[in-house]
Structure 1
């Protein structure tokens, strides 16, 4: 049996070889810039609607639903399509498209044309292109690194997502408050342009699985992806838990983005900083995800992290006023949520990639994304309705309680009993 020191040495060599790969570093840099653009835009568009256009709860729910709808409408088709294309090409094209979309929003704002209908169009366009990027980048990672490097590679990339969660919302909220929404949209476009430049420099030639002949390719491949995910107990549970979480979290965030400025009377800068506080927590979660599953088991980590991260939102409805104590409590809640959520994200991604053959990676990722994130538009609409009919505080309490469905689903499934070792690919 290898000693602890030799195991640590092997782990260090794996991590060192990963970062010596210049193409992986370019993917990491591009992913970081892309996430900064995406995270800032997720704050900029709703804050502009609430603070400048004085959008009501129902209108904000519709705006968020429009931005999330492409996940439900496109994910399965994108997964089937990406498995037959080079991921680098897809990511480069989508970064270019998102740069143009947010750039157009910035120009519309400068000329006084950035109204709610324009926001709907921009939100849908950015959301649709983000579906392509997210599926492609997950498929590109498996084609780029060895399977024994997946956990560390995912941890590194999710760490970049954490950094984006720190900087993106804070930047978006601050720029909207101090300058203007058009300038904030332009900053998001700049990040997507930087991602475009970084990923475009990746030189590794990807191997594309051969497409078989027969029935129309896209429908056959979508069916194969659905059958594979639904036929695997772990992936099926991930789909159900993800759907429960995304539905309730979308409802929570719709109410939350109204609750902070209107009920607690905090500024756009504080809203951005509060959302950004999830970033340091997510960074800690990324670091813990490289160690805790191997010590306590993947199933135990998933259930405990989900229960802690989701349950902490139940504290928000108890807050009153905009005092320093309230702001500190909001920051702490976001930090804990980010840590637990990132632990779940990294662990789930490692499980999904480990049990999925290379030629099925894009479709498996897209299927889980579609089932999970596809419920988000409905959650956003429900959140807006509850806030409008029951009030912000009651609506937030009910939707936050619903978030506990996700850890409950995992705790009652075989996923909770996954051990320290990841399972192998299922054919």
Structure 2
């Protein structure tokens, strides 16, 4: 009969059957859920305040969204190098404190009538920068908390929590802005970040303190290692390209979408929040399906089909006309399908990335993919604002929604589409601050998906 200790592996990580019984994983899950709630509340509160209260133009809204996304382009690669050398718990706790203060400042500024566009730009940039640190850190943290054969289960749980945030965050943000005020909505987001801080700081499992570099050039070398690792792996390289195509188009879509709903369809802030929140239930279903469908049909077919379905459904939105009694249910259906497809892609892609990446490269690989993929989001937001101003909202929404289909096309034409039920093994590469014997001998990493 196995002993009680058999539920824990030799590495100190919980065995598959005891994942939810592990208190540290639960604390990470609660903290990430609260953090995502704060983030999704803020993503709706700031743009809606700009549109509904400050009468921001399409160009101004595009600039606001671009400012919030710019830290991805400016900081992601450096953050990946830093996170690989810091305790992820420390990074997440500090970023939660910073975001709590930033949204708290927004609430105070709003109460005193000082929450204008310049203040929104500053707050959006600060929250965006801190979110880059948190997102890279929590992805790397999961690998240090659970076994590799638990990654799909762990990612499904974390992505499920993100689904819960997508249900509550936009609906809460839209309702609070519409019924009360933007300062109250910002205060609610600050409380969620504070809850995340309280949960994550209670994680007891101690990560070993990484060695600090002595030379400044060391950071650039580690960034280069991450870039080279991703560039030489077929699966990761494809993920980067598909993510870049999607994130650019999606950022443009959302800029136009946030103008289209209140100004073209004449929806209230509450209705806008509900329409956005419908992504959450779909994403929750997608999280559940992500734990089953790849094992039945293979990772490649699931990735391509889910991306085509989730992205393609947005082509229906420009055709909507009429009263809210007709348009709101249709928008709910579109968001639900988008959530299902998007979450299937998110979980499967994260499982592929984490499986083929060694532990010591997790932060840099996550940051590299974030940089290449989401780094185009600021440009997409500006492009969406430009199109909305020049072409009109309906035509711009159709054009940008069509652009989202580039992502499944990229995956369908790559070896990633041929991935089966079993993921490739992690590459065995040297992870040092300087040149290693393997580097000197010119050895190549193995494990590319060919």
When normalised by structure 1's length, the TM-score is: 0.96
User: 2: CA distance between counterparts of 1:212 and 1:124?
Assistant: 28
Q: Does 1:144 align with 2:150?
A: no
1:233-261 CA distance string (max 9 Å, x none): 00000000000000000000000000000
User: 1: CA distance between counterparts of 2:256 and 2:216?
Assistant: 45
Asked whether the 8 Å contact 1:101–1:126 carries over to 2, the reply is yes
Asked whether the 8 Å contact 1:83–1:208 carries over to 2, the reply is no
Give the deviation of 1:214 after TM superposition: 6.7
Structure 1 residues 251-400: aligned runs within 5 Å: 251-400=252-401
User: 2: CA distance between counterparts of 1:347 and 1:308?
Assistant: 15
Q: State the SS of the aligned residue for 1:324.
A: helix
Give the deviation of 1:15 after TM superposition: 5.1
Give the deviation of 1:322 after TM superposition: 2.9
Asked whether the 8 Å contact 2:80–2:364 carries over to 1, the reply is yes
Give the deviation of 1:73 after TM superposition: 0.3
Q: How many residues align?
A: 415
Q: State the SS of the aligned residue for 1:19.
A: coil
Asked whether the 8 Å contact 1:143–1:207 carries over to 2, the reply is no
Tell me the residue number matched to 2:171. 170
Tell me the residue number matched to 1:244. 245
Asked whether the 8 Å contact 2:226–2:368 carries over to 1, the reply is yes
1:144-194 CA distance string (max 9 Å, x none): 101011000000000000000000000000000000000000000000000
Asked whether the 8 Å contact 1:92–1:200 carries over to 2, the reply is yes
Give the deviation of 1:292 after TM superposition: 0.4
Tell me the residue number matched to 1:187. 188
Asked whether the 8 Å contact 1:209–1:359 carries over to 2, the reply is no
When normalised by structure 2's length, the TM-score is: 0.91
Tell me the residue number matched to 2:101. 100
Tell me the residue number matched to 2:229. 228
Structure 1 residues 24-173: aligned runs within 5 Å: 24-173=25-174
Asked whether the 8 Å contact 1:278–1:338 carries over to 2, the reply is yes
RMSD across aligned positions (CA): 1.2
1:104-130 CA distance string (max 9 Å, x none): 000000000000000000000000000
Structure 2 residue ranges without an equivalent (≥5): 1-13, 429-450
Structure 1 residue ranges without an equivalent (≥5): 1-12
User: 2: CA distance between counterparts of 1:114 and 1:211?
Assistant: 40
Query: Residues 217 and 114 from structure 1, CA distance in 2 versus in 1: closer, same or farther, beyond 3 angstroms?
Result: same
Larger helix fraction of residues = 1
Give the deviation of 1:16 after TM superposition: 3.9
User: 1: CA distance between counterparts of 2:333 and 2:30?
Assistant: 28
Asked whether the 8 Å contact 1:100–1:189 carries over to 2, the reply is yes
User: 2: CA distance between counterparts of 1:188 and 1:69?
Assistant: 21
Give the deviation of 1:213 after TM superposition: 6.8
Tell me the residue number matched to 1:218. 219
1:283-313 CA distance string (max 9 Å, x none): 0000000000010000000000000000000
Q: State the SS of the aligned residue for 1:20.
A: coil
Asked whether the 8 Å contact 2:16–2:147 carries over to 1, the reply is no
